Amino acid sequence: MSHDGHHSVVIPAPGPEFVPHTVAHHFDTPVQEFQAAKLGFWLFLATEILLFGGLFAAYFYFHEAYPETFRVGGHQLDWRLGALNTSVLLLSSWTMAMGVRSAQTSQKQKTLLFCGLTVLGAVIFMVIKFFEYQAKNEHGLVVFSELFAPYDAATGSIPWFKDYHGVMAGLPHGHLFFAIYLTMTAIHGLHVVIGAGLILWIMKGAAKGRFHAGYFLPVDLVGLYWHLVDLIWIFLFPLLYLVP
């Protein structure tokens, strides 16, 4: 966009390995740019919480409607794997915070290191998740190959819910717990993947020296996003694995 002769504000780079940042033309000061983006991002995080809020409302509603289904269903989840994943995400939140701090103090190598460790945390989380899903698949609680098969109203059986060992036998709507488990953890998992992608994007910028004490806004925002992903899991873990 042409600037019609107006001079843009430029934040100088703190050293030769960094690049300067040009403040967007419609902002008067770097502080204004920083605060605007930060406010906008917090609002975006609020919408994410509300989106999950619908799922949490559904969880509570059906937990109340079919408590026994949720109690027995919850025992089919491996709380040890859930706890391990919780630890992985908590640790990755710490590495992310350290990554943000390193960017704020213009430590390029440390920024890359801590962001890399966070992505590693995301990968470990998804691998553990994969093994959990695989166990559900083996027990016929969520048969992934049948997930999108058509529902047969005549027999009234859900194609992806076979329950080979009959653990949910006799309980009302046994599939419902696993449907909610799958929907909530899959949407959360999607957020983990998106978050890891964003952190990789941050690492690309950090390698070019875009982030330093004068300008670290994107690192800060992606950090906030990662903490939200962590925070949502902190609620999902006890509700799905422990409360039942």
Partner 1 sequence: MTTNVPVIDSHAAAPQAGRKNFLNCSQGFWSWAGTLDHKRIGIMYLVGVSIALLAGGLFALLVRLHLWKPEGVLFGNVEYNQIFTLHGAFMVFLFVIPAIPGSLGNIVLPLMLGAKDVALPRLNLLSFYLWVTGAVLATLAIVLGGFDTGWTFYAPYSLYTDQAVVTIGLAVFVLGFSSIFTGLNFIVTTHKLRAPGMTWFRMPLFVWAIYATSILQVLATPVLGITVLLVAFERLYHIGIFDPRLGGDPVLFEHFFWFYSHPAVYIMVLPAFGIISELVSVHSRKPLFGYKLIAFSSLAIAIISFLVWGHHMFTSGQSTYAMFAFSFLTFFVAIPTAIKEFSWVATVWKGSIALNSPMLYTLAFLVIFAIGGLTGVILGALNVDIHLHDTYFVVAHFHYVMMGSIALAFFAGLHHWWPKIFGVIYDETLAKIACGIIFVGFNATFIPQFIMGSRGMPRRYATYVPEYEPFHQASTVGAMVLGGGVALMVFYLVASLFQRKTAMQNQWGGVTLDWLSPTPPPLENFDEPPTVTTEVYDYSTLDYKTMQTPVA
Contacting residues toward partner 1, per CB under 8 A: 1-2, 4, 6, 24-26, 28, 32, 35-37, 39-40, 43-44, 46-48, 50-55, 57-58, 61-62, 65-66, 147-148, 151, 153, 156, 158-160, 172-173, 175-176, 179-180, 183
Compute the least distance from the CB of residue 230 to partner 1, in Å. Answer: 19
Compute the least distance from the CB of residue 14 to partner 1, in Å. Answer: 26
Q: Among residues 43 and 169, whose Cβ is nearest to partner 1?
A: 43
Q: Among residues 25 and 165, whose Cβ is nearest to partner 1?
A: 25
Q: Among residues 33 and 92, whose Cβ is nearest to partner 1?
A: 33
| C-beta of residue 84 within 8 angstroms of C-beta of residue 128 | yes
Q: Among residues 98 and 219, whose Cβ is nearest to partner 1?
A: 219
List CB contacts of 139: < 8 A, sequence separation 6 or more.
76, 163, 164, 165, 167
Compute the least distance from the CB of residue 125 to partner 1, in Å. Answer: 22
Compute the least distance from the CB of residue 35 to partner 1, in Å. Answer: 6
Compute the least distance from the CB of residue 91 to partner 1, in Å. Answer: 29
Q: Which whole-number Å values give the CA distances from 152 to 3, 50, 142, in the listed order?
A: 63, 33, 17
Q: Among residues 58 and 81, whose Cβ is nearest to partner 1?
A: 58
Compute the least distance from the CB of residue 212 to partner 1, in Å. Answer: 22
Q: Among residues 2 and 170, whose Cβ is nearest to partner 1?
A: 2
Cβ-count burial 193-219 (b if 16+ within 10 Å, e if not): eebbebbeebbebbeebbbbebbbbbb
Residue 166, number of CB atoms within 10 A of its CB: 9
